[in-house]
Structure 1
Amino acid sequence: MPTILTELGAPNPVVDSTSLIQGSNTLNPMWRVVDGWSVWREFNYKTLGSIFSHVVNAEWEDPLRVASGGGSLDYEIYDEDQFEHQILSRHTIPVVNDALLHANKVLGLTEQSVLHLGRRGRCTFEQTGDGREFPDWTLVSPGRRAQYRDDDGNCVFGRYHNLLPGDTKISSKWTPSLYASRAVRNVEQWEWPVRQVLTYACNLNVRYGYIITDKHLVVFQFAREAVGPGLSAERDQRVVVPAATLALAHARPDSSSTDLSSTFQTLSISEPSAPYSDSHPTTDFQRPKYQVIEWSSSGEGVLTVKLALFYLCLMAGHGPSNIQVSYPRLNSWCRLDEDGTFRHNTSGRTATQLSSRDRVEDANPYRDMQQALEATDHSHQGDAQEAEEELEGGRAGSCKRRRRG
């Protein structure tokens, strides 16, 4: 009998990317700055399979199987648009969505809890015309939708809250190995998409995100870093390292390895003129944690693109997902103060008893620092506060009057 584990382990279509256009990545100097990244070692087949074993090993009577037929032109791509519409929207996203629907049944959840991957239009609150402000891909759930009252007092449903921002790139413009390049331009091209997804996650207050290309899926976990008064008095101020300096700090690694963090050396260089957008003036972000999944990965015991994306959706949609200063281990539980039950720190699953093998850790190891940080942020948000409240209102399902003008 098929299972999510076996179905999402099937090979991806072979994409002909030999004719991809060349060029630079989208950039916006207002995006959050990154000065490196580190491998997210916990995001692996064994750990995730253990957390979601009851879901991925459940029998699946009628899984969606996308036909892989058609001519060679169906798999020939020239740009991001073709990759999104001819490959991802046909062969990847529908299969993951079907698995998410089946997972909802296995978990015994209602239709309001169904998770669904799709395009960004359903989550755009304001039509500014600047596509750089919104991620290409969204994860939504019917129960996580903005509501407000119109001028007549009627409760109106708005757009969905995006639980997981994702962005599409093509391998001719972006690949994880650019990080280890000695060329300044290559390091800059690595940097912009990572900054882009970090900014999306920051604006949405979610801890996960991803970049998907015709060669890789790269998943991220983001964490804030306290740099405000009283929180960092004994810590060095975090600095922005320009791309030119980053490039000089890199040594070329073994090309067979996906662990690119070991080649980056910690620097302490002041660069006050570097671009930086700060809607949270007293906070910065730690280096993102990342994991690379090859597009060509398939088979039993392998973390494939579809399986990794499925796991990330469950984590973002059902588990704790707000950005924190620090996180417990993925496969751990926390004790809920209000009723004495336990909640899994990644899946959101609850239990009244744990086995001797289960690990218990605080869901927010630096809770006091986090609360102080958020309180400081709140005093500096200004005009951004109204937008934050609208998003939180959608999360909680509360109905509030929408302001005009």
Structure 2
Amino acid sequence: MANTTLLKHLASPNPSLDCTRCTTGANTVNARWDDVTSLEDWKDFNYETLMKSYGQVLQQPIPPVPEITPPLSTLEKQISTENTFEDVLIRTTMLEVSTALRIAWPLCYSTDVAQDIAEIGRGAKARRGTAEEDDRYYPDWAGIRQNQVTDFGYKNLCPGETKLASKWGTSDADQERTDHILPFRQIQTYCGRQWGSRYGYIITPAELVVVRISKELIGPGLAVLRSVRDMSQQARTQRAHERTFSEGTISSGMNAMSLDTGSSYNDDANPNIEYGPLLYKSIPWSAEGDDVLTVKLALWWLHMETKHDLSIQHSYPSFQSKSSQIKPPPSIGDSEASQQPGVIHNPRPTQYQRKGGKKTL
């Protein structure tokens, strides 16, 4: 069979879903989610910038990527709850992106081993707390590199959250909803206070919304006059009783480690973070084809970035600035260029390549 490219693989269409049975109603609310300062367009997150940073690796010829086997059934394509949508994502989108990451990683970073490669897993695999932790206190999805661990699992380098388009979206009509800001507060808290990672996303059957977190820039004079946002455990408990869940459910979750300050945090968490603007970009679920930023391309891009600095800062260099670091494909043994994003190498063959692309997903 003829070779393909990662670009073609990640630009392929997503499954057509039947969302006529989707539940409606209000979004989940948690009083412990951090407030969003403001929402702004993430201008740098676009197809042109992606190709400047990773165009070489995306257009590198690779063996054909096997199709999902067996294909989704009509019943599987019927979405009614977040769980039924996640069943589709596990079998298709997240698996396809993780496969592309396994192929691309050694092309960019030839000295890395298998445990260094980023992949998308369920949020339960990346925890700071115990196995009894309430599942409302960690994201639905986790960007995982197996060489980065906590005491109870893996670090979440790119938190993701699942929502239904019948309850939330970024359209003008959706923005009129009184609970529109809640999912943004949720993912900001997971990225900022919980995991200290600048990138995250919200995915629905209608769109992928990628986000970038930042710190508030506080001048030295103002910093003296204002107190640090430091909410004690008692204060968090008091606020949590304002939630829409039952008191018994709330009480059982108070010991969850993921949103509490304390010894469960590693150095990369930000228990007292002061947020700057939240940048976001919406990519339609229906996006496909040439010269288009698709859901799978965007997810792949975010997780390729987990190789680099993820700490939350006041400001960041634009993605375009990375393109100036990209060099022509180096010769074998050129270690200086081996960690530059988007650079093609002559790496050891991946497991996928050794099997000639015949591995069944």
Normalising by the smaller structure, the TM-score range is: 0.7 to 0.9
Preserved contact between residue 213 and residue 276 of structure 2 (Cα < 8 Å)? yes
1:114 corresponds, among 112, 117, 129, to 117
Secondary structure, in 3 states, of the residue corresponding to 1:225?
coil
Aligned to 1:273: none
Q: Percent identity?
A: 34
Preserved contact between residue 226 and residue 282 of structure 1 (Cα < 8 Å)? no
1:21 corresponds, among 20, 23, 27, to 23
Aligned to 2:47: 45
Secondary structure, in 3 states, of the residue corresponding to 1:118?
strand
Aligned to 2:146: 142
State the distance in 1 between where 2:213 and 2:45 align: 13
How does 1:6-405 map onto structure 2 within 5 Å?
Answer: 6-67=8-69, 69-85=71-87, 87-107=88-108, 108=110, 109-127=112-130, 128-146=132-150, 158-177=152-171, 181-182=175-176, 186=177, 188-202=178-192, 203-227=194-218, 230=221, 232=223, 283-315=273-305, 317-333=306-322, 347=341
State the distance in 2 between where 1:69 and 1:118 align: 21
- Give the residue type in structure 2 aligned to 1:119: R
State the distance in 2 between where 1:102 and 1:70 align: 24
Q: Per chain length, whose mean CA-contact separation is higher, i.e. which structure has more relative contact order (CA < 8 Å, sep 6+)? A: 2
- Give the residue type in structure 2 aligned to 1:199: T
* Deviation of 1:349 (Å): 7.3
State the distance in 2 between where 1:134 and 1:287 align: 22
State the distance in 2 between where 1:190 and 1:111 align: 40
State the distance in 2 between where 1:225 and 1:191 align: 19
The number of aligned residues is: 289
* Deviation of 1:195 (Å): 0.4
RMSD: 3.0
* Deviation of 1:72 (Å): 2.2
- Give the residue type in structure 2 aligned to 1:145: V
State the distance in 2 between where 1:347 and 1:180 align: 36
Preserved contact between residue 226 and residue 283 of structure 1 (Cα < 8 Å)? no
Secondary structure, in 3 states, of the residue corresponding to 2:315?
coil
Aligned to 1:384: none
Gaps of 5+ in 1: 148-157, 239-276, 336-340, 351-405
State the distance in 1 between where 2:29 and 2:283 align: 24
State the distance in 2 between where 1:348 and 1:140 align: 20
* Deviation of 1:129 (Å): 3.8
Preserved contact between residue 26 and residue 132 of structure 1 (Cα < 8 Å)? no
Preserved contact between residue 116 and residue 140 of structure 1 (Cα < 8 Å)? yes
Preserved contact between residue 168 and residue 174 of structure 2 (Cα < 8 Å)? no
Please list every run of at least 4 consecutive aligned residues from structure 1 whose deviation after the TM superposition is greater than 3 angstroms. 67-71, 178-182, 226-235, 277-283, 341-344, 346-350
Normalised to the residue count of structure 2, the TM-score between the two structures is 0.73
Are residues 325 and 66 of structure 1, via their aligned partners in 2, closer, same or farther at CA, if it must alter by over 3 Å? same
State the distance in 2 between where 1:229 and 1:342 align: 39
CA shift digits 1:62-85 (9 cap, x unpaired): 413225745422211101000001
Normalised to the residue count of structure 1, the TM-score between the two structures is 0.65
Secondary structure, in 3 states, of the residue corresponding to 1:285?
coil
